[in-house]
Structure 1
Amino acid sequence: MRRRTTPQAWALRCRIILACADGTSNKDVAAQLGSTPHAVGRWRARFIEHRIAGLGDMPRPGGPRTVTDEQVAAVVTKTLERKPNDATHWSTRSMAQEVGLSQSTVSRIWRAFGLQPHRSETFKLSTDPYFIDKVHDVVGLYLDPPERALVFCVDEKSQIQALDRSQPVLPMMPGVPERQTADYVRHGTTTLFAALEVATGKVIGSLHRRHRAEEFKAFLITLDKQVPAGLDIHLVCDNYATHKTPAVKKWLLAHPRFHLHFTPTGSSWLNLVERWFAELTNKRIRRGVHKSVQALEADIRTWIATWNSDPKPYVWTKTADEILERLAGYLNRIPDSED
């Protein structure tokens, strides 16, 4: 009972037997050790019949194994290293036919080893020559923001379409989901410029029909008016050409409290406002029905106001070194990644 390597389940059974040896009733032993009288009686009877060996786990019922370790290894190896001749990935049926096992057996093996051939995810590795420096810069802003300054994640969500369904939407009913026609009518597009304040989660948004440098400069002017004059403004943005035009650079020189920090190319996941754009798309735009651009813009402004009434900041947790270490793991899995 006092051995440190003894499993806790066995140690409890030993304590039950020692307590019973003192003449305590099953009910009192159960109350003392946090068990049940039925369990105490069972282990007492097992000990009387089999002594110490009776405190172990008995063989469980069921038939013997019909799938060997070699067959399991064959399924896993084929799943990871080969593809079927007539498809891009394995299904439980095709793999079962290939190895001569049942479909349910293949499914159990895949679940045990965490294999999901039907799933595929996307990724993109940045080729920015200053990738490491930019990651340290942006992540440093998130984890250790400068004093007397606000950090904003800025980007534009362009080409937001005002879509109206060609026929009325059928509402949801018990057992029947909401139904929309597959075709739609376009009524124009708009562009949302948004700045997500990292500390509070509040969003400053501005809608424009185009997304040129002129509109980006106007959005910077809006930020300048809404942020208190005594604070510096650090903007995390991507490498879109409109962020680096001569007109924008000239305006930034005239407003030295603005500091731009660029994410690496192909690394939009570093910009937290992209996560907020996903919220906007999922909760307001994707299934929305808008008969005009004005209706779409009014809907977006209402959603931003609702968000700002109870904002929720996105908390960045990974350090730059953790991100780079994770990236190195991906590179090790890609052939010829050193090129």
Structure 2
Amino acid sequence: MVLTDRERQTLQRWQRATSTPQALALRSRIVLACAETDDDGLPRTAGAVARQVGVTPETVRKWRARFVRDRLDGLGDAPRPGRARTVSDEQVTAIVRATLQTRPTNATHWSTRAMAAKTGLSQSTISRIWRAFGLQPHRSRSFTPSTGPVFADRVHDVIGLYLDPPERVLAVCVAEKAQIQALDRAQPVLPMMPGVPERRSHDHVRPGTTALFAALDAATGTVIGSPHRRHRTIEFKKFLAKLDREVPADLQVHLICDDYGTYTTEAIKKWLPAHPRLHLHVTPTGSSWPNLVERWFAEPTAGRLHHSAQALERDIRAWIADGNDNPRPYAWAKTSDEILQALASYCRRIKDSGHC
């Protein structure tokens, strides 16, 4: 039995790979051993190969004959007989079409029970079909299309700062997280003891709230934050003044902000010309996703209870300082053209879309 170079390489790869099924690896060893010759240069017998590999001579003859007849394809398992299909292709197509194009009468989405009652099939059959086609009717995602007239221009502006910022420029993402609540238990917490878990009352009180203005340097992951009891224009101006003081004087500061009233008031527009190194860049209307500080806000800021708003603010400052000791950069992956192309493709799939 003579092997081609490709066949020998394939069999050796199947024999060595840890992901190869054990049965296929054994058959590869049998065929490779059969392709060798003995000391006299003659083909090896089935018995000699069987002793080397650790199988019976009948097994060697079987796979040697299968390989001679079908080559590499002959080493796979033949189809096994089983029960005939009870669900036709037409039924599968009807289930998929009904899942995608219809809704049940008295529910917001299809369940396996409801679809089984409609089609007369079992719930397990419906579940298998949905898994095969990746259908999950119980899941949904919400989105808000931007209605701003300069959507594309703002996307290019903001994404350009992430991917190709100018020299001597610090691009920071600025936003606020309002109504951060200080929560405390209504009764003192009983500490944990040997054999006794910590015990706490079910209800809690709200001693106060605070708002957090934050500026994230996406390139380094560092944050400049400032908690305030209110989130008006005057608090935002104080935060900008702090940002102006803490950023090195030789850098231009480009602020990426949401299209929010606090950031675009007349008072802010008059304040910015007096601080010419601060430049404002606004994300598209109704689209805060280009603002990376929103991702930072999603991380937990304070996991402990607080008996007052002052204690909450102390914990927020400590949490920011701790994060700045071990910052994690935020990398933007897609270009603005890729984002706009993906959005246009999505809008084309929506009937009567007037947003693209």
Q: Percent identity?
A: 61
| Rounded Cα–Cα distance in structure 2 between residues aligned with 1:188 and 1:49 | 82
Cα pair distance change 1:332/1:211, threshold 3 Å: same
| Aligned counterpart for 1:312 among listed residues 328, 334, 343 | 328
How far apart are residue 306 of structure 1 and its match? 1.3
Matched, 1:192 2:212: yes
Matched, 1:140 2:176: no
Unaligned runs of 5+ residues in structure 1 are 30-35
Specify the code of the residue in structure 2 equivalent to 1:22: E
| Rounded Cα–Cα distance in structure 2 between residues aligned with 1:218 and 1:188 | 21
Cα pair distance change 1:14/1:294, threshold 3 Å: closer
Q: Which residue of 1 aligns with 2:31?
A: 17
| Rounded Cα–Cα distance in structure 2 between residues aligned with 1:73 and 1:210 | 57
How far apart are residue 61 of structure 1 and its match? 5.5
Q: Which residue of 1 aligns with 2:90?
A: 70
Q: Secondary structure at the match of 2:331?
A: coil
Q: Which residue of 2 aligns with 1:321?
A: 337
| Aligned counterpart for 1:254 among listed residues 269, 274, 281 | 274
Q: Which residue of 2 aligns with 1:33?
A: none
Matched, 1:96 2:116: yes
1:153-302 alignment to 2 at 5 Å?
Answer: 153-166=173-186, 183-279=203-299, 283-285=300-302, 288-302=304-318
Matched, 1:59 2:79: yes
Q: Is the 8 A contact 1:17 1:43 kept in 2?
A: no
| Aligned counterpart for 1:129 among listed residues 141, 145, 149 | 149
Q: Which residue of 2 aligns with 1:47?
A: 63
Q: Secondary structure at the match of 1:269?
A: coil
Question: C-alpha deviations, 1:7-37, integer Å up to 9, x for none?
Answer: x6799678963652333779x99xxxxxx94
* Higher Rg of the two aligned structures: 2
| Rounded Cα–Cα distance in structure 2 between residues aligned with 1:170 and 1:43 | 71
Q: Secondary structure at the match of 2:330?
A: coil
Question: C-alpha deviations, 1:211-231, integer Å up to 9, x for none?
Answer: 111111111110111111111
Q: Secondary structure at the match of 1:300?
A: helix
Cα pair distance change 1:72/1:3, threshold 3 Å: farther
| Rounded Cα–Cα distance in structure 1 between residues aligned with 2:265 and 2:220 | 30
Cα pair distance change 1:216/1:68, threshold 3 Å: same
Unaligned runs of 5+ residues in structure 2 are 15-26, 39-43
Number of matched pairs: 326
Q: Is the 8 A contact 2:11 2:32 kept in 1?
A: no
Matched, 1:335 2:356: no
RMSD: 3.5
Q: Is the 8 A contact 2:213 2:226 kept in 1?
A: yes
